Structure 1
């Protein structure tokens, strides 16, 4: 339809391909939907010209190989394959954006983009330039094995990062606690590591392979509310019910704790000297634990002083006072207190 030697369709494909590249860059990454629409239009038009002109993107005709326009024929097919890759990548990016998880899935997105570009590159080498793909793939496999052995620690981080992303054990913004006690909010995940922003505003960089091997608690699932237990000893000068009511009043007057679910007071133990009390309350997020505990402790002191209660001395302190009064050596009579940090 366009001529015996496909001259006109090849020229049109080259012009469309170059125009598509220019407009693709002008669109920018800030408008992925518009970019994809333009890309589909250019790729569809190029494919239509290929079909109407009887031009195959998989091989060069014998006539084209004999003519001086071989460069025109090859460049048209390279541009068609390039636009095919960009169209597929555009669909992947739109899918991730529509699922509202662009940051969490960027590792998977990068992996898919790499596979698409690799497949298109092999197709161009084999179909357009006629190079044998089999020996090339075999040689690439040997090189990949050598590189893999040299970079096995880095590759372990890469695949661990992909596994953590697919498993969705956490997402950006979650507060997590590791088995060794390290905790913080997930600030960034990349191919090699995961960055945690701790409560002290420090960034902890954890290799993905190390993170995958450790036990982890996600403090943001199902929500960020976090329970705290605070134990203390009150002198046994009042009935336990009075102590319980007083501590409930403390928790109800605290402004930095969550009132739903309601806080509670557990009477753990009692002896001749003290009543052991455990205050259980909830905070809005792990980051507010310190400020909430500080407020509760301050209110406990104030309420006890106002209502004639006093906090009991620790048992080891009583042992030390008794030993000093009886004239025994303090170092011998304080085994518990000497072992505390």
Structure 2
């Protein structure tokens, strides 16, 4: 029986830990064989029968019983582990497994003392009870954390990875949960460690359930210079053009109030997870400004401001922002290097185009020989049928064909009625030659918006390749633009080496 028990231990350790089912079968087989041998020799593990036998035989009997109890503990623990794993609840399984293992080992240890070595455990149990009371009083807070951890684990108010908000204002993602404490990663990238007893007493909101989306609201005050339905339509275009928010369920626009000072609008939208709240709010605010300027709407003064009624804009006195090509050119950062006169010449060379809702502006791979600036409306970008972004008033496209003679990375489709200002290549060539900073800004914009999988590019192509390609395009446009310049200084003042610099 001793040989069988030792062989079982060796075989159990030789089996890889990932093959838990095989380990359980081996444990049960060896335990059954040892039980048969024990019963076949008229021995029982529940009575101490070593007295009256030779000393060597007594030692063999004691070791046999000891091995039998150890194999019994392993068989029970293996069966419990398999059962909990099959339940498919890993967090509770780990907790219950630890509890069961502790109880089994404690029971087996007491049984070995009583039935193998013949030690009376009554006195030991009584003494351990007194010791347990003393330890319980000394470790009251620790035990409170442990049992609170058990309650939180079984109640499942959150799991690892959930974003929670506590009633005291702490919020973050649960990254670890132990017997004693829970670790929360906050938005400032700090880990807050909360005792489980403290966490169990607080109310918490799990913003990751029933799904990961999170609702945000943003209030906007607009001067009442247009009908509320027009303002609501503009705000709907704001939400439609935002790529940082979730479009399903669709965001909504609610009119909250109207007086002589302002029309109050509330934008309600969702983000994929709470970590994207700041980015989404910033993008929505930027789009509110751009769409309001495009539609000729004025933002109202704050409600707390005391303004004389005579100074408030009305439909008759309000002067909406100008939306001429020159204003749009001045608002786009890539033209910051141009002088006022150069911007005016560029504005003269622009022409307006309109596209209806659902109309394809340009297909993926097609070349646009002009720069398109969005005056009004929303455009969706689709790469190989999948939406990759949206464009709003103030955005531009067509720089791929203008700079590098390449096709567009995405198919552009009008989500609403769209108006664009078009600047053709002939108007740009002299400016790119005389102002290479503009071409570099365009190249940088193209690099940021380039997508893996573009025609003729390998997946994961390094960004340095794009920069090299754009510099070569700049040189080509520069050489072509020099022939359009009338000034001898312009023809001789720069070289392609200067552009590379």
Q: TM (normalized to structure 2)?
A: 0.59
The one of 121, 137, 141 equivalent to 1:133 is: 121
Q: Deviation of residue 137 (structure 1)?
A: 0.8
Partner of 1:226: 214
- What CA distance in whole angstroms lies between the structure 2 residues aligned with 1:289 and 1:255? 13
The one of 301, 308, 322 equivalent to 1:313 is: 301
Cα gap change, 1:65/1:248 in structure 2, threshold over 3 Å: closer, same or farther? farther
Cα gap change, 1:138/1:308 in structure 2, threshold over 3 Å: closer, same or farther? same
Give matches, 1:1-341, under 5 Å: 13-61=1-49, 65-316=53-304, 318-319=305-306
- What CA distance in whole angstroms lies between the structure 2 residues aligned with 1:31 and 1:219? 38
Cα gap change, 1:304/1:65 in structure 2, threshold over 3 Å: closer, same or farther? farther
Q: Deviation of residue 269 (structure 1)?
A: 0.8
Q: Deviation of residue 67 (structure 1)?
A: 4.3
Query: What's the secondary structure of 2:65's corresponding residue?
Result: helix
- What CA distance in whole angstroms lies between the structure 2 residues aligned with 1:250 and 1:162? 47
Q: Deviation of residue 89 (structure 1)?
A: 1.2
Higher fraction of helix:
1
- What CA distance in whole angstroms lies between the structure 2 residues aligned with 1:238 and 1:293? 25
C-alpha contact 1:17 1:80 (8 A) present in aligned 2: yes
Range 88-97 or range 186-195, more displaced:
88-97
Query: What's the secondary structure of 1:147's corresponding residue?
Result: helix
Q: Deviation of residue 66 (structure 1)?
A: 4.5
Runs of 4+ in 1 over 4 A off after TM superposition: 62-67
- What CA distance in whole angstroms lies between the structure 2 residues aligned with 1:49 and 1:288? 66
Cα gap change, 1:66/1:178 in structure 2, threshold over 3 Å: closer, same or farther? same
Bigger-Rg structure (1/2): 2
C-alpha contact 1:103 1:172 (8 A) present in aligned 2: no
Q: Deviation of residue 93 (structure 1)?
A: 1.7
C-alpha contact 2:50 2:58 (8 A) present in aligned 1: no
C-alpha contact 2:220 2:266 (8 A) present in aligned 1: yes
Q: Deviation of residue 76 (structure 1)?
A: 1.0
C-alpha contact 2:164 2:207 (8 A) present in aligned 1: yes
Q: Deviation of residue 287 (structure 1)?
A: 2.0
Query: What's the secondary structure of 1:68's corresponding residue?
Result: helix
Range 200-209 or range 138-147, more displaced:
200-209
- What CA distance in whole angstroms lies between the structure 2 residues aligned with 1:138 and 1:89? 27
- What CA distance in whole angstroms lies between the structure 1 residues aligned with 2:13 and 2:170? 43
- What CA distance in whole angstroms lies between the structure 1 residues aligned with 2:196 and 2:13? 34
Number of positions where the alignment pairs a residue of Structure 1 with one of Structure 2? 309
In structure 1, runs of 5+ residues without a counterpart are: 1-12, 326-341
In structure 2, runs of 5+ residues without a counterpart are: 312-501
- What CA distance in whole angstroms lies between the structure 2 residues aligned with 1:298 and 1:33? 59
Deviations 1:232-253 (A, max 9, x none): 2112211111111111111122
C-alpha contact 2:28 2:75 (8 A) present in aligned 1: yes
Partner of 1:335: none
- What CA distance in whole angstroms lies between the structure 2 residues aligned with 1:148 and 1:63? 39
C-alpha contact 2:91 2:153 (8 A) present in aligned 1: no
C-alpha contact 2:85 2:93 (8 A) present in aligned 1: no
Q: Deviation of residue 201 (structure 1)?
A: 2.6
Deviations 1:205-236 (A, max 9, x none): 11000000000111122221221111121122
- What CA distance in whole angstroms lies between the structure 2 residues aligned with 1:310 and 1:65? 104
Q: CA RMSD in A?
A: 1.9
Cα gap change, 1:201/1:249 in structure 2, threshold over 3 Å: closer, same or farther? same
Q: Deviation of residue 259 (structure 1)?
A: 1.7
Choose between structure 1 and 2 for higher RCO, CA contacts under 8 A separated by at least 6 residues: 1
- What CA distance in whole angstroms lies between the structure 2 residues aligned with 1:50 and 1:170? 49
